[in-house]
């Protein structure tokens, strides 16, 4: 059944969109990530313009994060203080990101920057994840492997404006989470992602947060950052397609439930190994589209006026 999407201005099959939402939702439930980094490239692939894909996907991530954060809040695994500092950076970063997005779009370089961002970040994060999980799998079975220190002290801990984050058992400079929030906010606006796949490892390895509060806290701040992106994209570019977002999120929340149940059956390091491989794969596909000679080196820009 075809549906005409009013903002995307194309007709797409409802069941295809629903299945995509479900499939990506399943993976996001399985791996505990938002799935924006998969959905945005998929939408572009089936013919949605990058502008609409990025903005509508931000809208969908609002819903996915809101449904995910509830579980973590009930268990008390959200560090609201840390979340708020990240969020302050995230709001500023995503606002800057949407501005940058409009600028790049006018210059005709938006598609390139979206693709390059995907290649760079999926490449880096995927390789790190893969490396870490391979080591973890190899370590597995070896009894009494040395425990890592909670976190190492580096120059990062010498920065001013230190704040005590009780829930995360940290005493660090507020500048650090602010900067991280800002940076991921930019990516959120340009790549149409929540940024969980970047912010979660950064919170663990750079901030040294305990793993248990990381996912809930990142989900908490992602809700507001993607809401900010949705709002600014709607105001500046009118590229948020509510119909598209609704269909995707319906499939997404259902898929995520199944994924979540399935996740319990696989050991963590294998899950991370799979996710790492998957992330690298998406990055490689994006790279391919940049390198391969296009069928037509000419393309039409949006009809202005």
Site residues (vs another protein, CB under 8 A): 2-7, 9-11, 59-60, 62-71, 108-109, 111-112, 116, 223, 227, 230-235, 238, 240, 242-243, 245-246, 249-250, 253, 257, 290-291, 293-294, 296-305
Residue 254 CB burial class (10 angstroms; 0-12, 13-18, ≥19)? middle
Q: Which of 160/301 has CB closer to another protein?
A: 301
CB of 154 to another protein, least distance (A): 34
CB of 305 to another protein, least distance (A): 5
Q: Output phi, psi for 293, to 5 deg.
A: -65, 125
Q: Which of 144/301 has CB closer to another protein?
A: 301
**CA angle, corner 213, sides to 40 and 79, nearest 5?**
100
CB of 29 to another protein, least distance (A): 10
Q: Which of 109/211 has CB closer to another protein?
A: 109
Q: Which of 146/297 has CB closer to another protein?
A: 297
Q: Which of 105/272 has CB closer to another protein?
A: 105
Alpha-carbon span 276 to 131, nearest angstrom: 8
CB neighbours (10 Å) of residue 40? 27
Q: Which of 232/275 has CB closer to another protein?
A: 232
Asked if 34 contacts 58 with a C-beta cutoff of 8 angstroms, the reply is no
Q: Which residues contact 252 (CB under 8 A, 6 or more apart)?
A: 21, 22, 24, 25, 28, 35, 60, 63, 64
CB of 166 to another protein, least distance (A): 26
CB of 45 to another protein, least distance (A): 17
CB neighbours (10 Å) of residue 281? 12
Q: Which of 11/19 has CB closer to another protein?
A: 11
**CA angle, corner 47, sides to 46 and 50, nearest 5?**
110
C-alpha pair distances (Å), 195 with each of 3, 86, 107, 125? 29, 12, 25, 11
CB of 271 to another protein, least distance (A): 20
Q: Output phi, psi for 68, to 5 deg.
A: -75, -35
Alpha-carbon span 20 to 35, nearest angstrom: 11
CB of 212 to another protein, least distance (A): 19
């Amino acid at each position: 059944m075809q549906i005409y999407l009013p903002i995307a201005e194309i007709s797409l099959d409802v069941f295809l969109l629903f299945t995509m939402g479900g499939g990506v939702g399943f993976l996001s439930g399985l791996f505990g990530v938002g799935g924006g980094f998969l959905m945005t490239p998929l939408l572009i692939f089936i013919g949605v313009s990058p502008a609409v894909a990025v903005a509508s996907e931000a809208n969908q991530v609002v819903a996915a994060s809101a449904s995910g954060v509830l579980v973590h809040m009930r268990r008390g695994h959200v560090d609201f203080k840390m979340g708020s500092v990240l969020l302050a950076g995230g709001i500023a970063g995503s606002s800057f990101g949407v501005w940058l997005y409009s600028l790049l779009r006018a210059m005709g370089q938006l598609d390139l920057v979206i693709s390059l961002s995907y290649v760079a970040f999926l490449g880096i994060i995927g390789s790190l994840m893969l490396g870490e999980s391979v080591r973890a799998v190899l370590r597995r079975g070896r009894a009494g492997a040395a425990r890592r220190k909670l976190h190492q002290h580096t120059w990062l801990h010498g920065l001013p404006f230190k704040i005590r984050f009780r829930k995360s058992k940290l005493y660090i400079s507020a500048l650090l989470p602010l900067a991280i929030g800002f940076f991921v906010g930019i990516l959120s606006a340009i790549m149409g992602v929540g940024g969980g796949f970047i912010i979660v490892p950064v919170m663990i390895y750079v901030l040294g947060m305990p793993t248990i509060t990381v996912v809930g806290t990142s989900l908490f701040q992602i809700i507001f950052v993607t809401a900010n992106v949705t709002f600014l994209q709607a105001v500046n570019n009118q590229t948020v397609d509510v119909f598209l977002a609704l269909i995707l999120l319906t499939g997404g929340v259902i898929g995520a439930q199944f994924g979540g149940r399935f996740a319990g059956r696989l050991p963590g390091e294998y899950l991370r190994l799979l996710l790492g491989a998957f992330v690298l794969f998406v990055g490689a596909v994006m790279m391919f589209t940049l390198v391969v000679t296009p069928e037509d080196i000419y393309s039409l820009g949006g009809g202005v006026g």
